[in-house]
């Protein structure tokens, strides 16, 4: 059972602004907000920032089946240390992938056994499991993930236009969002084949094979189909302003679409990919400096709805080799989530909104998670804004000490994360006693 306590004197990000006040936690819930609150246990937090624990809507932990890549124990601890109290885990990298009720149950059991943060599970939308989407909805998936380009894994197939249309109809009926990895398959496959045929397999060749035009074309297609089917659409990892423009136009037409971006698109540019190498390979790829700077202004302006890490780990052996196309794509960044966002120059209110209420609203968790308000789960994130944190390989909590962020310094550090009132992570003492629970999506009873 969670201990009751008070967090005293922090600058608290509340739904209506930032205020210095006290927060009381009882029975795992936020029980009171106001000055002069007391309890037997008090966390003195003067000068600290208190946010609702981040909800990271986009992580890959790869368990069951590929725990040599990451796993729930290490992945969720890294997420907690990065400021998250809840994560939504993607359906493709586990084996079996999350394509039916049975695979959902397997993953749920693995997560309940070792996750330190609460978790939602994405189900897959692929050509082979349209008839299983309803059972996934009933089990409680938070939404469905579809790839418009190849996923890189043979057992999680790409959706062609007709599959996506059919899947969106079912998702709309269930009231669940569809997330799309939006890059145009025809364009990226052709460009990759041309580069490989010419034996151009370096960093710049890879970057050139996944242009902004491919991303924009796929976002446009997904928005069109979402409009047609009435499906809630969630575009993951938008990397460029042009992509956000397509989303904004679709919103104006009445399409129910939101855009996510990731800290790495706000932190690194394509020159960094050359410097860092394989650890900074992802898809869509990191863009040029002008695009990175533009993405930061757009996040500040409100063009981006949510932020997720797309923490995408793999073993060191898959991050090696001379052929940049063959190296596994994915940036491991769960542990740098919230510090990385402050490092990109975002203020606490923007960070709080895009990792809290906006995520909760999109996935039907408003009233329970994502804000500091009485009656909400006591998912809390205490940040020390005076303590710089530097990313070192030895400080990484992930299974493999790999991260594009190694050597980076952030202006803030994560002090504590509580999940429903129980410590999940403390900078002083490491892992706490929290155990994660399933957070169900809208279609579950
Ligand atoms: Zn991803």
pLDDT tens-digit series, residues 404-427: 999 999 999 999 999 999 999 999
Average pLDDT over residues 146-168: 95
Residue 284: helix, strand or coil by DSSP?
A: coil
Provide the pairing of β-strand 409-410 with 5-14. Answer: unpaired
Ligand 1 center–CA 91 separation, angstroms: 9
Give the closest residue to 148 by CA, choosing from 137, 157, 159, 162: 159
Give the closest residue to 319 by CA, choosing from 334, 311, 330, 335: 330
Per-residue confidence (pLDDT) for residue 426, from 0 to 100:
98
Q: Please provide residue 210's backbone torsions phi and psi, each rounded to the nearest 5 degrees.
A: -130, 70
Ligand 1 center–CA 60 separation, angstroms: 6
Question: Which helix H or strand E contains 205, and what residues bound it?
Answer: helix 203-209
Alpha-carbon distance of 431 to 247, in angstroms, equals 39
Per-residue confidence (pLDDT) for residue 24, from 0 to 100:
98
pLDDT tens-digit series, residues 240-260: 999 999 999 999 999 999 999
Ligand 1 center–CA 149 separation, angstroms: 12
pLDDT tens-digit series, residues 68-81: 999 999 999 999 99
Per-residue confidence (pLDDT) for residue 126, from 0 to 100:
98
Mean per-residue pLDDT over the chain, rounded: 97
CB of 359 within 8 A of CB of 365?
yes
Alpha-carbon distance of 321 to 299, in angstroms, equals 35
CB of 359 within 8 A of CB of 59?
no
CB of 273 within 8 A of CB of 281?
yes
Burial label, 36 (beta-carbon count in 10 A; 0-12, 13-18, 19+): exposed
- Which DSSP state fits 2? P
Alpha-carbon distance of 53 to 251, in angstroms, equals 28
| DSSP string covering 104-171 | HHHHHHHHHHH-SSEEEEEEE--TT-GGGHHHHHHHT-SEEEEESS--S-TTSPPP-HHHHHHHHHHH
Quote the percentage of the chain above a pLDDT of 70.
100
Question: Is residue 2 pLDDT above 70, yes or no?
Answer: no
Ligand 1 center–CA 239 separation, angstroms: 13
Burial 193-217 (b: 16+ CB within 10 A, else e): eebeeeeebebebbbbbbbbebbbb
Question: Is residue 396 pLDDT above 90, yes or no?
Answer: yes
Ligand 1 center–CA 57 separation, angstroms: 10
Ligand 1 center–CA 87 separation, angstroms: 12
Alpha-carbon distance of 129 to 131, in angstroms, equals 5
Ligand 1 center–CA 11 separation, angstroms: 33
Per-residue confidence (pLDDT) for residue 113, from 0 to 100:
98
Average pLDDT over residues 392-413: 97
Give the residue carrying structure tokens 């020390």.
384
Ligand 1 center–CA 90 separation, angstroms: 7
Burial 322-358 (b: 16+ CB within 10 A, else e): eebbebbbbbbbbbbbbbbbbbbebebebbbbbbbbb
Burial label, 17 (beta-carbon count in 10 A; 0-12, 13-18, 19+): exposed
Bond before 64 cis per omega within 30 degrees: yes
Ligand 1 center–CA 241 separation, angstroms: 19
Average pLDDT over residues 26-30: 97
Ligand 1 center–CA 45 separation, angstroms: 35
Q: Hey, CA dihedral for 141, 147, 153, 157, is it positive or negative?
A: positive
Per-residue confidence (pLDDT) for residue 195, from 0 to 100:
97
In sequence order, the 6+-apart residues with CB closer than 8 A to the CB of 420 are 2, 28, 29, 118, 377, 378, 379, 434, 437
Ligand 1 center–CA 317 separation, angstroms: 20
Ligand 1 center–CA 311 separation, angstroms: 7
Per-residue confidence (pLDDT) for residue 13, from 0 to 100:
98
Alpha-carbon distance of 219 to 30, in angstroms, equals 39
Ligand 1 center–CA 307 separation, angstroms: 12
Q: Say what the pTM is.
A: 0.98
pLDDT tens-digit series, residues 332-377: 999 999 999 999 999 999 999 999 999 999 999 999 999 999 999 9
Ligand 1 center–CA 144 separation, angstroms: 13
Alpha-carbon distance of 222 to 158, in angstroms, equals 13
Ligand 1 center–CA 58 separation, angstroms: 6
| DSSP string covering 338-381 | HHHHHHTT--HHHHHHHHTHHHHHHHT-TTTSSS--TTSB--EE
HSE-up of residue 255 (Cα within 13 Å, Cβ side): 26
Ligand 1 center–CA 25 separation, angstroms: 34
Ligand 1 center–CA 281 separation, angstroms: 12
Question: Is residue 1 pLDDT above 70, yes or no?
Answer: no
Alpha-carbon distance of 58 to 126, in angstroms, equals 18
Residue 122 pairs in a beta bridge with 143
Q: Please provide residue 50's backbone torsions phi and psi, each rounded to the nearest 5 degrees.
A: -120, 120
Ligand 1 center–CA 312 separation, angstroms: 6
For helices 289-301 and 241-252, angle between their N-to-C axes, nearest 10 degrees: 30
């Amino acid at each position: 059972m969670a201990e009751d306590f008070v967090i005293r004197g922090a600058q608290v990000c509340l739904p209506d602004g930032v205020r210095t006040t006290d927060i009381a936690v009882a029975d795992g819930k936020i029980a009171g907000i106001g000055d002069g609150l007391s309890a037997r246990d008090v966390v003195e937090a003067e000068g600290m920032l208190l946010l609702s624990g981040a909800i990271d809507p986009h992580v890959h932990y790869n368990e069951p089946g590929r725990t040599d890549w990451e796993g729930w124990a290490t992945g969720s601890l890294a997420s907690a240390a990065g400021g998250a109290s809840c994560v939504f885990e993607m359906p493709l990298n586990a084996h079996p992938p999350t394509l039916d009720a049975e695979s959902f149950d397997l993953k749920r059991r693995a997560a309940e056994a070792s996750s330190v943060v609460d978790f939602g599970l994405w189900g897959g939308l692929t050509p082979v499991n349209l008839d299983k989407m309803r059972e996934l909805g009933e089990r409680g998936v938070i939404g469905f993930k579809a790839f418009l380009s190849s996923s890189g894994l043979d057992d999680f197939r790409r959706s062609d236009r007709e599959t996506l249309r059919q899947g969106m109809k079912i998702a709309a009926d269930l009231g669940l969002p569809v997330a799309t990895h939006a890059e145009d398959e025809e364009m990226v496959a052709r460009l990759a084949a041309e580069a490989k045929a010419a034996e151009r397999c370096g960093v710049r060749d890879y970057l050139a094979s996944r242009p902004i035009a491919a991303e924009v074309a796929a976002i446009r297609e997904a928005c069109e189909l979402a409009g047609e089917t009435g499906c809630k659409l969630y575009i993951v990892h938008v990397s460029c302003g042009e992509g956000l423009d397509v989303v904004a136009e679709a919103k104006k037409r009445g399409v129910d679409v939101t855009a996510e971006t990731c800290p790495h698109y706000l932190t690194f540019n394509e020159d960094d990919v050359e410097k860092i190498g394989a650890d900074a390979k992802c898809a869509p790829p990191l863009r040029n400096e002008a695009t990175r700077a533009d993405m930061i202004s757009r996040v500040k302006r409100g063009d981006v709805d949510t932020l997720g890490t797309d923490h995408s780990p793999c073993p060191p052996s898959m991050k090696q080799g001379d052929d940049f196309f063959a190296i596994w794509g994915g940036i491991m960044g769960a542990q740098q989530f919230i510090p990385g966002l402050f490092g990109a120059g975002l203020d606490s209110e923007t960070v709080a909104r895009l990792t809290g209420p906006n995520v909760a609203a999109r996935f039907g968790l408003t009233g329970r998670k994502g804000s500091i308000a009485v009656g909400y789960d006591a998912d809390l994130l205490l940040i020390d804004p005076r303590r710089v944190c530097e990313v070192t390989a030895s400080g990484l909590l992930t299974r493999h000490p790999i991260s594009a962020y190694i050597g980076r310094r952030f202006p803030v550090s994560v002090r504590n994360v509580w999940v429903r009132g129980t410590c999940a992570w403390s900078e002083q003492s490491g892992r706490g006693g929290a155990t994660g629970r399933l957070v169900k999506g809208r279609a579950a009873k």
